[in-house]
Amino acid sequence: MTKTQTTPAAAVDPTVAAASAQFLSPVVLRLQALAVNGKQAHWNVRGANFIAIHQLLDSVVEHAQGWADDAAERVVALGLPVDARVSTVAEKSSSAVQAGFVQWEHMVRDVIADIDPIITDLQAAIDGLDEVDLTSQDIAIAIKQGLEKDRWFLVAHLAE
């Protein structure tokens, strides 16, 4: 029988891992919620700007899923688990997105209202990780940059 020898993971300071998880886990949960609620918005938006908003919401959902994966994988790479089960996401997040058909202006405002707390969490992560883990901070910065761009695209539809 052949024995397989595994190489131990690089030593990770448990304080760094815990701090990174503390700041990135809420981001993961809110981004997962944004992905689900963004799809709800995508399916149920109505009105004159339907096509543009419908397609933009698909991008928001795709980005949220990717960023949630990036943040979660950083936590796991540091040796800690992430709990982003549907029940946990539902328990730890909320959404302004309504059930059923909604006119595009209201739907855009609802999605922006879901994005804003994520941006707040990301800024807290950026500030908190500055002295702890610059790699995790870089991930938070990149996610914030992209999410603010998605928010800008949504806000542009409401500008007069």
Do the Cβ atoms of 107 and 9 come closer than 8 Å?
A: no
Q: How do residues 66-85 score in pLDDT, each as one tens digit?
A: 999 999 999 999 999 999 99
pTM for this entry: 0.90
Taken in order of first residue, the domains within the chain and their CATH numbers are: 14-158 (1.20.1260.10)
Q: Distance (Å, rounded) from C-alpha 116 to C-alpha 8?
A: 40
Q: Is the dihedral of CA 108, 56, 47, 41 positive or negative?
A: negative
Quote the mean pLDDT of the chain.
Answer: 92
Q: How do residues 126-160 score in pLDDT, each as one tens digit?
A: 999 999 999 999 999 999 999 999 999 999 999 97
Q: Is the predicted pLDDT of residue 6 greater than 70, yes or no?
A: no
Q: For residue 28, which of 131, 145, 120, 121 has the smallest C-alpha distance?
A: 121
Radius of gyration of the chain (CA): 18
Q: How do residues 112-123 score in pLDDT, each as one tens digit?
A: 999 999 999 999
